[in-house]
Structure 1
Amino acid sequence: MAVRPVPARVMIVEDSTVVRTLLTHIVGSDPRLTVVASFATAEEAIDALPSVRPDVISMDIRLPGIDGLEATRRIMADHPTPIVVISASMDGGAMGTSMNALRAGALSVVEKPVGLGDAAYAQVAHEIRTQLAIMSEVAVVRRRMSTVTAAPVQPARQRPPSVLLVAASTGGPPALAKLFGALPADLPIPVLLVQHMGASFMAGFASWLDSVVPQRVEIARHGEQPRAGLIHVAPGDAHLMLARGGTMRVTTDGPVGGQRPSATRLIESAATAIDGAALAVVLTGMGEDGAAGVRALLAAGGQAVAEDASTSVVYGMPAAAHRAGALSLPLDLIAPHVRRIVERTW
């Protein structure tokens, strides 16, 4: 990613004066960022967008009047701008609204800072700065889905999958909702999912996903056998892997490539623990997590698909997976491809 010659222009939308001041301090302490405007309401922010022209917006989800979800919808329709949602609560309602904001076009969700004296302040502040700096570089555009009607047939030498492995990062929640929404509720193989997201959000994310897709969704548990038709989500800040015999392993080993959970660890484990009998799907996201796993899985006779650049919010992880040998398909064609493979297996 090219280095921005001037700091990214940040607009803060937050109704609390205390939190707005804190966010201004957090952003101002990073030379990559500068606050160009801050507002207590979404209405004020939307009206100011054409003149302020921020590179990225820090958006509170609970606002008086127009809330953060509706504000995101309007901004993405009229003035597409990278949006980072700031959420103060992990409860079902707030998390559902935050996830729906991602579906409406926001790029990521981060935890709202509590105060300078809070034990987690430094970590939360670092995550806010990092997400704003990274997302300010994302080109937010409306991408049209491919009109291709058929996917290439997988080579016959590849092993039939006994499990579906899915990985996503930036832009992942809406992509996952679309992928799983196009798959049957009674999918005859289990799903293991790695979504890069703050640890405090994972339970809420799993609950939200469970409410919008036909399959059941649960946080993965160490030592359990994955079940068909169930999506097992990697816990926050822990790796999810497969062990010999096909049971799930949840560990807190060190991060891989800066990621925990790591898509690479999950996919690599299928190459060895179940001799490559897996289908991996790598969706939108920054970085290269998952690529080394795809390479190992394909070498073991497994199968892999990466989301195409035409539908990826960020074409980092899927690009690396494609370079490692994964088949590249637009998002709307991945579910039909998965169904064909699974139906051939069963």
Structure 2
Amino acid sequence: MNILKKRIKVLIVEDSPVAVLALKRMLATSDEIEVVGTARHGKEGLEMIPRLNPDVICTDLHMPVMDGLEFTKEIMARHPLPTLVVSVSVGESHTQNVFQLLQAGAIDVFPKPQGALIDQTGEFSAELVSKIKVLSGVIPFSKQKRQKAVAAGVFPPALHPAKAVSVSLTKDLRMIVIGASTGGPQALEVILKALPHDFPLPIVCVQHISDGFLESLVEWLAKACKVRVVIVKNNELPMPSTVYFAPDHKHVTFNSEGRFLLTDAPPVDGHRPSVTVTMASLAERYQRGAMAVLLTGMGRDGADGMLSVSRVGGTTIAQDKDSSIVFGMPEQAIRLGAAKYVLDIGAIAKVLVDFANKEKTVSLTKT
């Protein structure tokens, strides 16, 4: 007996008819997704949600009557639903507004189809379909839970009581690599904002993000953080108090001198940049002086890389399920036995802050 699989219901909130048509065509490439409605602005979208009961919402940033930011805030207050920001605000001076929607509760970002992108039906459509499928399984945090978490300095919030655990950090620690995908910008904001301006080590972040949004992400975090936040340059020597983001379409590795070496090697685990590639190079170059942190995200990128760090005696930390928006990458590392510590996002931030304060052993929380 064949049982029909329930289709993912999507509501598009977008004032451009051309963009709506393009998005509908792209989503139509999957028989698992159904566009159940379109709205011209946020107010109209809010009125349609109770009637259409969508699983995922795609919203523009700039719209008349009610823009994407206000719309997202209202969604989280009234009907918490997984929300994807689809915006042309790439390369503009106010691109950080896109990430304000993530702060308000949206889960991920995607570039609005325009120009040549409208005609694409291959990788671009596949990426959008993949994001919708991932978001359909996400349970957003309510406005009340979000406000409590932000007030406590821990976002996303843990859902269960925590218990104490001790984490020992070696004096040999020299380099930190953090990997993330879906939900990563929000998690990285929590960690990086907590760091003091004189944080004693370099940090490399490998964040899976749609083309065109990396510079915006770096600008947004740079304005919010005390440490310097930049994009990696080839042959650059990593410096303390600086957070380096892997550039689009390049793997980040370390050469024998500890300088960054960018490569065009094939994707690993479907990604370039790949978290696993950078962590494997980290393990080879820094041995016990390496720390690998794996945050929220879909898939398994980073799991094998974290295992490499664990095998050479480095410190390995995976974000826990309750504070992850998508518990994919951390879960795979945990299953491999690669993660020595499994901590909520606030505790991970505390590990780094306490290390900066020269404490050898710190008391944290763990589910």
Q: Do Structure 1 and Structure 2 share a fold, with TM-score over 0.5?
A: yes
Identity among equivalent pairs (%) = 33
1:170 partnered with 2:170: no
1:34 partnered with 2:13: no
Q: CA deviation at 1:334?
A: 0.8
Q: C-alpha offsets along residues 133-169 of structure 1, whole Å, 9 cap, x if unaligned?
A: 2211223345643654754233x7x672111111111
TM-score, normalised on structure 2? Answer: 0.87
Q: Distance in 2 between matches of 1:160 and 1:68?
A: 46
Q: CA deviation at 1:225?
A: 0.6
Q: Distance in 1 between matches of 2:321 and 2:291?
A: 20
In structure 1, stretches of 5+ residues that fail to align are: none
1:233 pairs with 245, 255, 259, which one?
A: 245
1:297 partnered with 2:306: no
Give runs of aligned pairs for residues 62-101 of structure 1, distance below 5 A: 62-101=62-101
Q: Distance in 1 between matches of 2:221 and 2:332?
A: 26
State the one-letter code of the partner of 2:68: G
Give runs of aligned pairs for residues 96-115 of structure 1, distance below 5 A: 96-115=96-115
State the one-letter code of the partner of 2:135: M
The match for 1:318 is: 330
Q: Distance in 1 between matches of 2:131 and 2:202?
A: 32
Q: Give the conservation status (yes or no) of the 8 Å contact 1:201–1:236.
A: no
Equivalent residue pairs, number: 341
Q: Distance in 2 between matches of 1:234 and 1:120?
A: 26
State the one-letter code of the partner of 1:281: V
Q: CA deviation at 1:265?
A: 0.8
Give runs of aligned pairs for residues 98-137 of structure 1, distance below 5 A: 98-115=98-115, 122-137=122-137
The match for 2:52 is: 52
Q: Distance in 2 between matches of 1:244 and 1:149?
A: 41
The match for 1:199 is: 211
TM-score, normalised on structure 1? Answer: 0.92
State the one-letter code of the partner of 1:330: D
State the one-letter code of the partner of 2:197: A
Flag the 1:104–1:117 CA change in 2: closer, same or farther, 3 A.
Answer: closer
Q: Distance in 2 between matches of 1:8 and 1:115?
A: 27
Q: Give the conservation status (yes or no) of the 8 Å contact 1:151–1:333.
A: no
Q: C-alpha offsets along residues 38-83 of structure 1, whole Å, 9 cap, x if unaligned?
A: 0111100011111111011111111112211221111012101111
Q: Give the conservation status (yes or no) of the 8 Å contact 2:181–2:209.
A: yes
State the one-letter code of the partner of 2:181: S
Q: CA deviation at 1:26?
A: 1.9
Q: CA deviation at 1:178?
A: 0.6
Q: Distance in 2 between matches of 1:190 and 1:163?
A: 6
Q: Distance in 1 between matches of 2:131 and 2:97?
A: 19
Q: Which stretch of structure 1 is more off in the superposition, 15-24 or 123-132?
A: 123-132
The match for 2:147 is: none
1:269 partnered with 2:281: yes
Q: Distance in 2 between matches of 1:246 and 1:229?
A: 16
Q: Distance in 2 between matches of 1:139 and 1:17?
A: 29
In structure 2, stretches of 5+ residues that fail to align are: 143-155, 361-367
Q: Distance in 2 between matches of 1:285 and 1:296?
A: 19
Q: Distance in 1 between matches of 2:247 and 2:288?
A: 23
Q: CA deviation at 1:93?
A: 4.3
Q: Distance in 1 between matches of 2:234 and 2:288?
A: 21
1:337 partnered with 2:351: yes
Q: Give the conservation status (yes or no) of the 8 Å contact 2:194–2:353.
A: no
1:23 partnered with 2:23: yes
